[in-house]
Amino acid sequence: MMQIHHHGDHRAARKSQYPPLGDQWDVLWRWVASLPPELLNDEMRQMLDRIRAVKTNFPKPRQDQTGGADSLEGAENGG
């Protein structure tokens, strides 16, 4: 069996190639927000509510005010 041997620290190489953690978390929480609420446990629902509250309190500036809100922004307002 062929074995691959890495020289140096693989952690540094991987870290430089991963997307920023904020981007990773954003993708995960958008996915969680898209799930039916009954599939979420209490802890996930509470965290999602906290994330939505921050986004509501500090809205992202929009160039086009007719654009719809995504699953994490404006959900309390029917979006």
Question: Confidence class of residue 28 from pLDDT cuts 50, 70 and 90?
Answer: very high
pLDDT at 31 over 80: yes
pLDDT at 74: 58
Cα–Cα dist 63/41, whole Å? 36
- Are residues 72 and 51 in contact, defined by beta-carbon separation less than 8 angstroms? yes
The pLDDT value given to residue 18: 94
Distance CA 8, CA 46 (A): 42
- Domain range summary for the chain, segments of one domain joined by +: 17-57
